Structure 1
């Protein structure tokens, strides 16, 4: 099975002006595999966006399932795009927002080995180079001295574990998904930063009365620890979502 589709992207934001681009989807799998209890087709999704302010996003999301034994995910990124800084601590207001430009190149991903039909274990890697510019004059960020303000290399590696009982990874109607990752960033790996990043992603899918209306609940957390943490990655967050969709 091989499917391909492409869609235009058009939008506007004050910090970008008009933006336009395209996103593509390539899905392929062995014939008959869509009848399995856990349909896991390989898929590639390229994305390109350009703005009238000469800003750019280019990304490719790749997820490959190899002989039902291994799963390789990797995401190359090329960004020259605005980002936001909301201050340090919890006492900041929305009007404290500052805009700067983050120019970065990144390759991140995981290589996993299935231990059975639902569990897999492996390693995660992240290689990134940042250059920051276009700071707000007299803003808090430019005078903060935060790690990474002058850019640099960010290199990390660590273990990953995943439980996936979804019936279909593209359009799940039932099952659960749990992913846990730990990344150790270190100058010993050739980077400029030393910290640890923890990620947890938990999702539950179910249909409503055997109809084509599906609901899923999702909670995820990103936690960081370390004295020299790249400030764009130093996030301690927990979020919960419960969206529904109709297929």
Structure 2
């Protein structure tokens, strides 16, 4: 009887062992299949990246003022010299787009780092034909007073920076712009208040700038500090139609609390002094700050805004962000008030299109004024 029991136990153990091996084999097969799918995705992504470096990407966006936006965008991040292993990678961007509300944009921009980061050159050149919406001048205006203004403009800007100490630069900004074909409603407040700029004209300016930048990757910062200050004069003797001065201060800080999660902070202010045309006033909103607001719907001589953004990876090349911002315009720093600050919020998707330089394609959805204002923004690199 005992021998029969022993035979039974041995048989039972044999069955259990075979079952365990069978389950383990199935799990191994499943892992192999999963790895195979991941490898296939990585192979596809590598081919897509190689293709992305050659051909432009079709884009679609939406903003309240422009309607649906269709276009082609191109972005390339690269090292200018193989011998220079210290310089940060350089970048060239291009965009051609038009919208259902008649906007046309042609933009080319670049950022070059040369001679072991000793020199930086930031430039952009664009042509715009666009109807623009404006609520008025000041922070107390409302969307009920919206006016549509049409104009053409071409603008060139270059900030040429030289390193004087590690991470610290001084530079000379240069600016040229022309505004023409300006169409303003005959009953516009711009005529009633005799606001500068209604005849269009030229901006020709230069000045001084300073930059402190400890970021390792300027296109997808993971840590460090960025602080840019610029003062640009537009005197008559250089050819400016209106004599005025623009000041900006842009401060950013990045934290990496755990893994690849990033907390990014930005505080920004600008102020225009002198006879500033309405199209050069400080403007709230756009694709980078206070996302969701018309760029220029709220405008005045001075502006302060700030934002916080949380960036989190999801899987492989994909990530998500959430952001919140606040800001307002005012007539000058002496008139700064802590009342009627406006808020923006939203989120977005990130897709890494250049794994070597960690550069993302970003798609953001921004909202303001309780959601009545909104915008969809597609671009390369982070908002800040």
TM-score by shorter chain over 0.5: yes
Structure-2 separation of matches of 1:15 and 1:177: 31
Q: Do residues 243 (structure 1) and 291 (structure 2) align?
A: no
1:58 to 106, 111, 114: 106
Mark the CA change 1:14 to 1:177 in structure 2 (over 3 Å): closer, same or farther. closer
2:176 to 121, 127, 150: 127
In structure 2, list runs of 5 or more residues that go unmatched: 1-49, 283-301, 314-384
Structural mapping, 1:93-172, within 5 Å: 93-172=142-221
In structure 1, list runs of 5 or more residues that go unmatched: none
Deviations for 1:31-84, whole angstroms, at most 9, x for unmatched residues?
4977x6xx6211001011113454310111111112122111110010001222
Greater percentage in strand: 1
Structure-2 separation of matches of 1:60 and 1:135: 28
Q: Pick which of 52-61 and 158-167 moved more.
A: 52-61
Deviations for 1:9-48, whole angstroms, at most 9, x for unmatched residues?
22345654543101111111144977x6xx6211001011
Mark the CA change 1:98 to 1:132 in structure 2 (over 3 Å): closer, same or farther. farther
Equivalent residues of 2:182, 2:200 under 8 A apart: no
Q: Pick which of 68-77 and 81-90 moved more.
A: 81-90
Paired residues in the alignment total 241
What is the TM-score when the length of structure 2 is the normalising length? 0.59
Q: CA RMSD in A?
A: 2.2
Mark the CA change 1:159 to 1:77 in structure 2 (over 3 Å): closer, same or farther. same
TM-aligned CA deviation for residue 160 of structure 1: 0.4
1:218 corresponding residue in structure 2 = 266
Equivalent residues of 1:100, 1:132 under 8 A apart: no
2:95 corresponding residue in structure 1 = 47
1:7 corresponding residue in structure 2 = 57
Structure-2 separation of matches of 1:42 and 1:244: 25
- Alignment partner of 1:208: what SS? strand
1:27 corresponding residue in structure 2 = 77
Structure-1 separation of matches of 2:62 and 2:186: 25
What is the TM-score when the length of structure 1 is the normalising length? 0.89
Greater percentage in helix: 2
- Alignment partner of 1:64: what SS? strand
